[in-house]
């Protein structure tokens, strides 16, 4: 193989990897309609702890914890005990945004953990 052809191939391979990365990033695009409907930003921000831990803090704590996504999805839907302070996270019903489906909870947790 001559050097020029090798360079072209390597370049093409790198390009396809970067396209693949774009694709992965698209999957964790902010699910803004869900964040609005379920009023997440009423208490949370991405980077500043406010009434609740920031999504960056939450991601740093749980990103590498096995089983964390399932636990968090359950918590978003049904509520649960406090892990950060004295105030527990209200359940979907208490937040007033209507019921949160398992797939919507999954999308939200996936996005939160990508922060």
Among 28, 69, 74, 88, the residue binding ligand HEC under the rule CB under 6 A is 88
Q: Which is nearer to ligand HEC, 25 or 63 (CB)?
A: 63
Residue whose C-alpha is closest to residue 31's, from 87, 110, 96: 110
**Scanning residues 25 to 64, which ones bind ligand HEC (CB under 6 A)?**
38-40, 42-44, 51-53, 58
Is the Cβ–Cβ distance between 88 and 79 less than 8 Å?
yes
Among 11, 17, 82, 107, the residue binding ligand HEC under the rule CB under 6 A is 82
Is the Cβ–Cβ distance between 36 and 65 less than 8 Å?
no
Q: How far is the CB of 23 from ligand HEC (least distance, A)?
A: 23
Angstrom distance (rounded) from CA 103 to CA 30? 15
Is the Cβ–Cβ distance between 53 and 44 less than 8 Å?
yes
Q: How far is the CB of 51 from ligand HEC (least distance, A)?
A: 6
Q: How far is the CB of 18 from ligand HEC (least distance, A)?
A: 29
């Amino acid at each position: 193989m001559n050097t020029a052809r090798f360079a072209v191939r390597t370049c093409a391979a790198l390009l396809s990897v970067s396209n693949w990365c774009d694709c992965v990033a698209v999957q964790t695009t902010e699910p803004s309609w869900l964040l609005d409907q379920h009023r997440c930003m009423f208490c949370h921000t991405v980077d500043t702890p406010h009434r609740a831990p920031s999504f960056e803090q939450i991601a740093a704590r749980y990103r590498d914890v096995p089983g964390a996504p399932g636990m968090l999805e359950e918590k978003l839907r049904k509520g649960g005990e406090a892990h950060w302070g004295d105030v527990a996270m209200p359940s979907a019903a208490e937040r007033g945004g209507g019921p949160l489906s398992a797939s919507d909870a999954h999308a939200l947790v996936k996005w939160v953990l990508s922060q």
